[in-house]
Amino acid sequence: MSDRLYEKLSWQVGDVSIHRLVEVVLCAPIDSLFPDRSAAELSAYESWLKPNYLDADGNMHISIHAFLINAGGMKMIVDTCAGNGKNLPLYDEWKNLNTPFLENMTELGFGPDAIDRVMCTHLHFDHVGWNTHKVNDKWVPSFPNARYLFNKTEWEFWKDADDPYESNALEHALQPIFDADLVELVEANHQVCDEISLIPTPGHTPGHASVLIQSKGEEAVITGDMFHHPLQFAEPGWIDAADVESDRAERTRIEFMQRFGNTDSTVLGTHFATPTAGKIVSDGDGYKFES
Ligand SMILES: [Zn+2]
């Protein structure tokens, strides 16, 4: 996979700086996320999907990355990726990872001890993995000085639900944070600080939230998995196999595009490969992603 998919990217939104830290990039056939769909159905959108988001054979690039945010000295990580040494489902590329994720954070000026807030857009295993890491065979919090913000509705759902992916995320990456008393259960519209707030975007999961950054008249929004891939700007109704509630997820995608489409807001895709950021703009009856 090319270096470009792993390059360091950062953005400035008013006074807030945002960095992307990639853990791993997957190369995934369309039907691994969208059952019974194929690359041939995307031919009308190839001009803006290729080569960044689809490879020459029509496979999706799915980037697993975190966003590191510095807002007035408060340091945050949004979504903590998959983590090392786990036998994760669906794709080979993220099985038993061994990446220097925490060291890479330090290099970017976000040493684990300096993190003030951990935000998880939702509690799927590829968004909570580095909440903890293994020390002497025990999963311990990676960010011991942080408050971990988990959405209340999301936690209520997952604490008793069967994990459809058998990832053991509850045991590895969530329960140890509760045990260490570092969790703050928040509403989906929680205000984190002056510049940063959550906005409810339910459907992918019941308590899914996106992250809105506003500073000095500028605005950016981190999608979470409301959109897994930019193709969903054109096809918001395609059933995404990972969505817990398909109809609600589709409605949320459409409402989101109506709110942020054709505005100056920068959209940062949680699984969008390089260049990751862009604007939602009208395209015929629908929308496209302009990077
Ligand atoms: Zn995800």
Tens-binned pLDDT, residue by residue, of the chain (291 aa)? 569 999 999 999 999 999 999 999 999 999 999 999 999 999 999 999 999 999 999 999 999 999 999 999 999 999 999 999 988 888 999 999 999 999 999 999 999 999 999 999 999 999 999 999 999 999 999 999 999 999 999 999 999 988 888 888 999 999 999 999 999 999 999 999 999 999 999 999 999 999 999 999 999 999 999 999 999 999 999 999 999 999 999 999 999 999 999 999 999 999 999 999 999 999 999 999 999
- Start-to-end CA distance of the chain, whole Å, equals 20
**What is the whole-number distance in angstroms between the Cα of residue 124 and the centre of ligand 1?**
7
Q: Say if pTM beats, i.e. exceeds, 0.85.
A: yes
**What is the whole-number distance in angstroms between the Cα of residue 169 and the centre of ligand 1?**
13
Distance between CA atoms of residues 271 and 101, nearest Å: 17
**What is the whole-number distance in angstroms between the Cα of residue 67 and the centre of ligand 1?**
13
**What is the whole-number distance in angstroms between the Cα of residue 267 and the centre of ligand 1?**
16
**What is the whole-number distance in angstroms between the Cα of residue 216 and the centre of ligand 1?**
30
At 163 the pLDDT is 84
Structure tokens at 34: 């969208």
DSSP codes, 68-89: EEEETTEEEEE-----SS---S
Q: How far is CA 71 from the centre of its chain?
A: 19
Tell me the residue type at 221. V
At 125 the pLDDT is 95
CATH of domain 3-290: 3.60.15.10
Distance between CA atoms of residues 178 and 141, nearest Å: 10
Distance between CA atoms of residues 232 and 70, nearest Å: 29
**What is the whole-number distance in angstroms between the Cα of residue 271 and the centre of ligand 1?**
7
Q: How far is CA 255 from the centre of its chain?
A: 19
Cβ contact 284:258 at 8 Å: no
Cβ contact 114:145 at 8 Å: yes
At 162 the pLDDT is 85
Tell me the residue type at 195. E
Cβ contact 24:97 at 8 Å: yes
At 1 the pLDDT is 53
Structure tokens at 136: 């002497």
DSSP codes, 203-259: SSSTT-EEEEEEETTEEEEE-GGG-SSTHHHH-TTSPPTT-SSHHHHHHHHHHHHHH
**What is the whole-number distance in angstroms between the Cα of residue 119 and the centre of ligand 1?**
14
* pLDDT, tens only, 152-171: 999 999 999 888 888 889 99
* pLDDT, tens only, 33-87: 999 999 999 999 999 999 999 999 999 999 999 999 999 999 999 999 999 998 8
Question: Nearest to residue 75, comparing CAs of 186, 221, 192, 218?
Answer: 192
Distance between CA atoms of residues 154 and 252, nearest Å: 16
